[in-house]
């Protein structure tokens, strides 16, 4: 919900009450059309159904505010929009952290594989690579190494 709220708030930035009401009515018309479009309009209908309550909330907010303080919608002065933006930021940060953790894990796995390959190469060059060398479960090529000359 916070993504939808943030998206609508961003689109409503700088609009007056009349413009927000016009956007809400357009979204309602688009929703009716999407619903009547069958499967083709289903994704659009779902998106519009999520956006409409936010357009209504902003419209009500502008209608209930004094003309001097809310002639134009400003998400920066809307506590609900600020909470949504904060939640979006937290989610984006969590996603970035997860991507970084996955990259770090991949680097560590790759570095471990390189160290293992270097160890096996050293053993092969020293003529000590034979069946006595332990094979690791994630070492797919260890079984294909020829026995080192003894």
Name the DSSP class of 136: P
- The answer as to whether 137 is a domain residue is no
Kindly state whether residue 14 falls inside one of the protein's structural domains: yes
Judged against a pLDDT cut of 90, whether residue 20 lies above it is answered with yes
Asked if residue 28 is part of any domain, the answer here is yes
Q: Which two tokens stand for residue 94?
A: 């969590």
Is 21 a member of any domain?
Answer: yes
| Structural domain includes residue 75 | yes
List pLDDT tens digits, range 53-109: 999 999 999 888 765 555 789 988 888 889 988 888 899 999 999 999 999 999 999
Quote the tokens at residue 48. 């519009």
116 found inside a domain: no
Structural domain span for residue 19? 2-95
Total structural domains within the chain:
1
Does residue 78 lie within any of the structural domains?
Answer: yes
Overall pTM > 0.95:
no
Asked if residue 119 belongs to a domain, the reply is no
pLDDT score of 66: 64
């Amino acid at each position: 919900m916070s993504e939808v709220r943030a998206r609508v708030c961003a689109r409503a930035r700088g609009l007056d009450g009349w413009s927000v009401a016009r956007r809400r009515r357009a979204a309602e018309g688009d929703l009716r059309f999407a619903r009547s479009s069958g499967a083709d309009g289903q994704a659009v209908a779902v998106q519009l159904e999520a956006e409409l309550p936010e357009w209504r909330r902003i419209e009500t907010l502008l209608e209930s505010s004094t003309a001097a303080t809310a002639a134009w919608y400003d998400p920066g002065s809307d506590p609900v929009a600020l909470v949504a933006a904060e939640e979006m930021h937290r989610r984006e940060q969590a996603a970035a952290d997860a991507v970084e953790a996955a990259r770090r894990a991949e680097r560590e796995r790759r570095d471990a594989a390189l160290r293992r390959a270097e160890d096996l190469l050293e053993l092969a060059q020293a003529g000590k690579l034979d069946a006595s060398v332990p094979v690791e479960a994630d070492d797919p090529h260890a079984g294909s190494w020829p026995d080192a000359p003894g």
